[in-house]
Chain A
Amino acid sequence: MMFNTLGFLVFFPIVIAIYFIIPKKVRVYWLLIASYYFYMSWNVGYGTLLFASTFTTYLGGLIISKVRNKPGKVTALIVTLLCNFGMLFVFKYFGFFTDVVIRISESFGVTLKAPEFSLLLPMGISFFTFQAVSYTIDVYRDESVCEKHFFKYALFVSFFPQLVAGPIERSGNLLKQIKDCANIKLWNARRVYEGAILMLYGYILKMIISDRAKLFVDKVYDLDGYAAYTGLIPIIATILFAIQIYCDFAGYTYIAMGAAKVMGFQLMDNFNTPYFATSITDFWARWHISLTNWFRDYVYIPLGGNRKGKLRKYINIFVVFTLSGLWHGASYTFVFWGVLHGILRIVDEASAKVRDKVFKFFGARENFSYRLFRVMGTFIFVCLAWVFFRARHMDQALDIIRNMWHWNPWVLHDGTIFNFGLDAKEWNVMFAALAFLTIMDCFKYKKKDLLPKVAEQGWIFKGLVLVVGILAVVIFGIYGPQYDAASFIYFQF
């Protein structure tokens, strides 16, 4: 079930109400039942995969902790990884892989036929697989204690607020909290309020900004006549997609963090004002932090990280970003998006010294305008890469980028801009919401996050913030019968 559906708005209060009144000892079981219900409401069969991933990684962890000799540990780890990544491969990458094989064989004059079967991509499979696998690897590395209580571990893998779109939690954080679940002081008004405010902020990002931006983006990117749109139209659509995907994913994260917080759990933050990044390296330290950390800890560092010379470091970066692209989706556009970021990241790294010299030569200093210039430059690169992420195929992405080089500023004032799903009033709401988002992110950038500050205010102010926020979502949110509740984009990964 989606966070922005009526189903969740009924499900969540019921889960909370029961969670608050049942005995401490059964809290874990209740949350586990709720999490499986949450996940299986999409497709009952999905539950089997979730269970399979949970069971194999649990068993892997148990065996690794029991076996004394290293070969035994390694074997257990490899089998666990094969089981989980194998499942991920079959359900997510098999179609893409066969397509690649067929294309390669065709280039050698051999015609192969793809097997005719299709599997429904389970929601969030990449998220829970990565989370579960990280636990087994941590146990293997002695960085985490093996969890013997199966149900507590199962809740760690399936915890519903972050199950289908992260953050990809580590056992050191979430599993530890689940183990202490019985000791959580449930009725802490301030914590519950903070959770509610986080959720509300997430709904504002998702329903007011992201889904509104989506209306414009889809009109440009999803129509077969996209090639007719030139100049500012594809540029605006791409900028709006950058906003859409950020508000969609960050919105989901805030709802997840808020829902968890209401229940007394602290999830990690997944975003830290990514569009204020001053370089691609900085961007990846701020965007989808839990995934970046995962790749760093389980791919980049094992490959040698930056310990084996510059060339090896660049290769490692390239491998990590290519895999990151593949993680986002089984298609050439996602892979290319990852490759592009890898290249930009390497260029960023390699050119740092030269760049600094150039800036020094021109007298640029670490002041606001210098940072603004870098922020804008990074944002442009990120947006260009988003074109590949959003496009349906490579040809479309290239066409769209090509079409951007066209001078037509009049589309801003001759009414053309209002022909893409957003009329003048919708644009006003969009600008107001973006101004709000920018203010919030500015405070967060300065490490003075406003959301926790609200919880410190008097009860009338706090109450009014909640009421006004809910009314804003109800009135200006994009939802309703004519509207197919837009999927959170990251669910498909």
Chain B
Amino acid sequence: MKKVFKFFKIILILALLVFLLIRLNYVLRDKEYASVQDNFANLEKDSVDIVFVGASHCFCSIDPYMIKEKTGKEVFVLSTSAQTVPESYYAVMEAIEIQHPKTIYMEVQYCVNDFTIVMPHSFFDGMPNCKAKYLGIKDLIPKDEQSSFYINLGAYHTRWKNLKEKDYQSNLTAPMGEYVSNDVIYQQPFPIVPMEETEQMPEISRKYLDRIIELCRENDVELVLFCAPYGMLYVDEDQEKLLCSQQKILNSIYDIAEENGLEYYDMFHEMDKIGIDEATDWKDTQHFNASGQQKFTAYMLKKGYIR
């Protein structure tokens, strides 16, 4: 009996320690970035019909509530800041593994970049423990840094200096992965490159885009590609050249989509029809604000691009 009590005491202390560490992990984690993945993890299994993946251009353009209202389908925006194409591949894998949606919409703006990963913690930290997370960390994170992706405290413990009231609260924002900004700037006019002008996609993005297409095909999930328009970071000649070059890469996706029997909507070419106003619809030069988001989503629905 004495031995059992001794054992019980040790278990009790360990349980307290584990509980506090889990709670601490939650409190210290950067909620701003992790809440989207957290919310996705908390959804009922196989309850989502449509999942959006991609970088900030995606969540700034898509209003999941409007889509749900118009289509009656359950929607989740699983896009995260600076989500690269390799990360999108693992987001698609995660979406299929956990929700197996009917359709995945991928915003392809990051295909213009040659990045493997930019903001890894914003992507992986909230991800539930699943095969996609394990494979993604193994594939994209340098070996000596991988441990901090399994035990997030290693990355976030220094946040004790910046903790605010919301860090202690359990109610997460963005239950459908939505993002709304009411900031407004005036967007300078920017050039639109004709659809026929193309440029080759950077190798890394192309490799992972092909893997995304293959993954969706293998799992019988419809994949739809789209691109939300964006302007120049600064108004100068170099930026204009860069934007034109990026649009050419985005134009090249038409061929990839055709080869693979996919739908692709490059919305640079339908800017006028959407009714985007340079004075009211941009939060910054790269992203839509709430007004632009409403117009963009409504147009995609109206045209049947999202259905």
Report A's interface with B, CB cutoff 8 A. Answer: 6, 189, 423, 425-426, 459, 463, 466-467, 470-471, 474-477, 479-482
Residue in A189, A423, A463, A474 whose beta carbon sits within 8 Å of that of B157 in the complex: A474
Query: Nearest chain-B residue to A471 (Cβ)?
Result: B20
Chain A residues in 8 Å Cβ range of B13: 459, 463, 466-467
In the complex, the answer to whether B20 meets A467 with C-beta atoms within 8 Å is yes
In the complex, the answer to whether A463 meets B24 with C-beta atoms within 8 Å is no
In the complex, the answer to whether B20 meets A475 with C-beta atoms within 8 Å is no
Cα distance A476–B161 in the bound complex, in angstroms: 10
In the complex, the answer to whether A459 meets B9 with C-beta atoms within 8 Å is yes
Chain A residues in 8 Å Cβ range of B166: none
Chain A residues in 8 Å Cβ range of B147: 6
Chain B residues in 8 Å Cβ range of A475: 24, 28, 157, 160
Q: A425-B161, A471-B20 are in contact. Are A481 and B148 (CB under 8 A)?
A: yes
Closest 5 CB pairs of A and B: A463-B13, A481-B148, A480-B154, A425-B161, A6-B147
Residue in B16, B20, B155 whose beta carbon sits within 8 Å of that of A480 in the complex: B155
Cβ-Cβ contact count across A and B, 8 Å cutoff: 46
Chain B residues in 8 Å Cβ range of A423: 161
In the complex, the answer to whether A474 meets B21 with C-beta atoms within 8 Å is yes
In the complex, the answer to whether A481 meets B16 with C-beta atoms within 8 Å is no
**Mind listing 16 A-B residue pairs with CB under 8 Å?**
A6-B147, A426-B161, A459-B13, A463-B9, A466-B13, A467-B16, A471-B21, A474-B21, A474-B24, A475-B157, A480-B148, A480-B154, A481-B148, A481-B154, A481-B155, A482-B155
Cα distance A463–B13 in the bound complex, in angstroms: 6
Q: A459-B9, A463-B9 are in contact. Are A479 and B20 (CB under 8 A)?
A: no
Cα distance A470–B16 in the bound complex, in angstroms: 12
Cα distance A196–B21 in the bound complex, in angstroms: 18
Interface size on B, residues (CB 8 A): 21
In the complex, the answer to whether A481 meets B24 with C-beta atoms within 8 Å is no
Chain B residues in 8 Å Cβ range of A476: 157, 160
Report B's interface with A, CB cutoff 8 A. Answer: 6, 9, 12-13, 16-17, 20-21, 24, 28, 145, 147-148, 151, 153-155, 157-158, 160-161
B34 CB to nearest chain A CB (Å): 16
B contacts with A: majority SS:
helix
Cα distance A6–B155 in the bound complex, in angstroms: 13
Query: Nearest chain-B residue to A473 (Cβ)?
Result: B157
In the complex, the answer to whether B157 meets A477 with C-beta atoms within 8 Å is yes
Cα distance A463–B51 in the bound complex, in angstroms: 46
Cα distance A482–B155 in the bound complex, in angstroms: 8
B139 CB to nearest chain A CB (Å): 17
> 7 new A-B pairs (CB below 8 Å) besides A189-B6, A476-B160, A482-B155?
A6-B147, A459-B13, A463-B16, A466-B17, A477-B157, A480-B155, A481-B155
In the complex, the answer to whether B16 meets A479 with C-beta atoms within 8 Å is no
B205 CB to nearest chain A CB (Å): 25
A483 CB to nearest chain B CB (Å): 9
Chain A residues in 8 Å Cβ range of B153: 474
In the complex, the answer to whether B160 meets A481 with C-beta atoms within 8 Å is no
Query: Nearest chain-B residue to A468 (Cβ)?
Result: B20
In the complex, the answer to whether A481 meets B157 with C-beta atoms within 8 Å is no
Cα distance A467–B12 in the bound complex, in angstroms: 11
Cα distance A380–B55 in the bound complex, in angstroms: 57
Chain B residues in 8 Å Cβ range of A477: 157
Chain B residues in 8 Å Cβ range of A479: 154, 157
A465 CB to nearest chain B CB (Å): 10
Cα distance A471–B24 in the bound complex, in angstroms: 9
A203 CB to nearest chain B CB (Å): 14
Cα distance A477–B24 in the bound complex, in angstroms: 14
**A425, A466, A467, A474 — which one has the most chain B CB atoms within 10 A of its CB?**
A474
Query: Nearest chain-B residue to A424 (Cβ)?
Result: B161
Cα distance A423–B158 in the bound complex, in angstroms: 12
Chain B residues in 8 Å Cβ range of A6: 147, 151, 154
Q: A425-B161, A459-B9 are in contact. Are A481 and B21 (CB under 8 A)?
A: no
Query: Nearest chain-A residue to B17 (Cβ)?
Result: A467
Query: Nearest chain-B residue to A189 (Cβ)?
Result: B6
**B6, B24, B157, B160 — which one has the most chain A CB atoms within 10 A of its CB?**
B157
Cα distance A459–B12 in the bound complex, in angstroms: 11
Cα distance A463–B16 in the bound complex, in angstroms: 9
Chain B residues in 8 Å Cβ range of A474: 21, 24, 153, 157
Chain B residues in 8 Å Cβ range of A466: 13, 17
**A6, A423, A476 — which one has the most chain B CB atoms within 10 A of its CB?**
A6
